[in-house]
Chain A
C-alpha cells in the first residue's frame, strides 16, 4: 500500500474510535458494560506489559498453527480426490457438509470430553473448521483447470505427477489460497471455541477469566483486540503468500 492508502486506513480507524467513544458518552454506559476506547487501550498495554496476555496468545497461536496445518493439509488431499473422483464426491460430500453444518460450538464440549483439555482437542477443532473451506476451494480449483492445458500436458507426455505439479497445482493455487484466507480466520475461531469449552490457557480462557472470576471487562476487550489482531495478521500472511506465489496473472 502507498502512503495515501495507509492514511485512509488510519482515518477510518480514527472514525471508528470516535464513534465508540461517542456511544459511551451518549449512553452513559458503565465501563464494566462498555469501556471507552482509552480505557481498553490502557488495559491492553498494561496486560501486555505485566505478561498477562503473552502466554495465552502463545498457546492460541500454537493451536491455530497446528490445527490449520493439519486441517488444510488433509483438505488439499480430500479436495483433490473430490475433484477427480465422482465416487469419492458422492460418498464423502454428505459427511463433509454435515460436519460443516453442525455448529462447532456444540461439538467443542464433546471434543474436550474425548481429547481432554490439552492441545489435541483444540487442534482437532481447528482442523475440522479449516477443512471445509479449503477442501471446497481445492475441489473447485482443480475442477477449473483448463482441459486444454491438460491436453497439452498429455501431448508432451507429462506423467501423472508432472501434471499435478506443473499444471493442476499452479492453476488451482489462486482458488486454494482463497480458501485458506477463509480457513485461517476460522482457525482462530476454532481455537477460541475449543478453549472456551475447557482449557487451562489460551485467549479464550483469558476472556472467560476476565468476564467471570476477574470481572475485568477492559481486560476482556484487550483479549478480544488481541484475537482480532491475530486474525488480521494471519490473513495478511496468507495474502502475502498469495502475492508471492500467484502474483499478477
Chain B
C-alpha cells in the first residue's frame, strides 16, 4: 500500500499552516471594533486539505484573507511553516470566489500576470504557461481569448492556473466553484483532487456545500456565526483517491449529518444514527472543543 500512499506522506515537510489564538475585527465608524474571528486555533499539516464551512458572514473568507496575508490579525498569529505570515507571500496562492481576471488581458496573459509582476523573463513565462495550462486542463486554443469570451468554468480554470503560477505550497480557495452548475462543480472538485495528488499542496477551501467539503477534504472545519469560532473539526474517513461514487457511501451521509448538526441545523440532530451516538451528544452542544468531537 505504500506505493499508493497519497502525498500525505510529505506532511509536515512544507506548506504547514498554523493559526494560533487568532482574533480579527473590523473597525467600525464609531471607532469601536466589530469582532469577526474569535480565538481561532487550527493546525493544517503540509499537504493536507481542509474545508472551512459555516453560515454566511461567519468570517470564513476573512480567515482565508488573514492566511493570505491580506489582513493582519488583531491578536494571535497565522503561520506558514512556523513563521508568522506578515503579508502576501509567493508561497501562498489564492483563488477568489469570482475568477477576478483582468478583462483587458488574454487568458494567457492573465495566467502569467503573477510571473510578470515577479519579473520573470518572457521566455520563462511562456514555458511556465504551457505547464500551467496542462496542469489545470485548459484548452490551449483559448489562450488568446479575453475573459469575456470564456465560459464561467474556463475563467475559473484560468484563475486557478494564475494562483498556481508561482508554484505556491499552499492553495487557498474561497468558494471557488460556487458560481458553476452542480455537475461542473463536481468535475472541478475532482480535478482539484487530481491536481493535489500530483502536487502535494496544502489546500484550504472555503465552501458552503457540505458534499463538496466531504468530497475534497481530509477535515471539515465548522465555524459558528459571527464572531466566527471553530465549533467542530470533523475528520472525513474516506480513502483516497476519491471519486464521485464515494459520495454514496454511508460514511458520507454520517459525516454530513454530523457537520450539519454542528452548523446548527435542528433536523440533523433529531435522529442520530446508532453508530453516531458518541459524537451525536457532542453535536447537540456546539462549542465543545474540536478534539472531543473528532476523536
Could you tell me which A residues sit within 8 Å of B by CB distance?
148-149, 151-158, 162, 166-167, 170-171, 173, 246-249
Contact = CB atoms under 8 A, between A and B. Distances in A.
B68 interface: yes
A182 to B, nearest CB: 22
B117 A156 contact: yes
Interface stretch (B94-102, B226-234, B273-281): B94-102
Identify the 4 closest CB pairs spanning chains A and B, nearest first: A156-B114, A155-B88, A170-B104, A157-B88
A158 B117 CA distance: 6
Contacts of A167: 102
Given A154-B88, A156-B88, A156-B117, A249 B96 contact: no
B113 interface: yes
A248 B94 CA distance: 28
B148 interface: yes
B68 A155 contact: yes
B104 A246 contact: yes
Contacts of B104: 170-171, 173, 246-247, 249
A166 B146 contact: no
Interface in B93-122: 94, 96, 98, 100, 102-104, 113-114, 116-118
B100 A148 contact: yes
A149 B102 contact: yes
A152 B94 CA distance: 9
B117 A249 contact: no
B153 interface: no
B90 interface: yes
A162 B100 contact: no
B9 to A, nearest CB: 30
Nearest to A167: B102
Interface in B199-245: none
B103 A156 contact: no
B247 interface: no
Given A156-B88, A157-B90, A171-B104, 12 more contacts: A148-B98, A149-B102, A154-B70, A155-B69, A155-B94, A156-B113, A156-B117, A157-B118, A166-B113, A173-B104, A249-B104, A249-B148
B116 A166 contact: yes
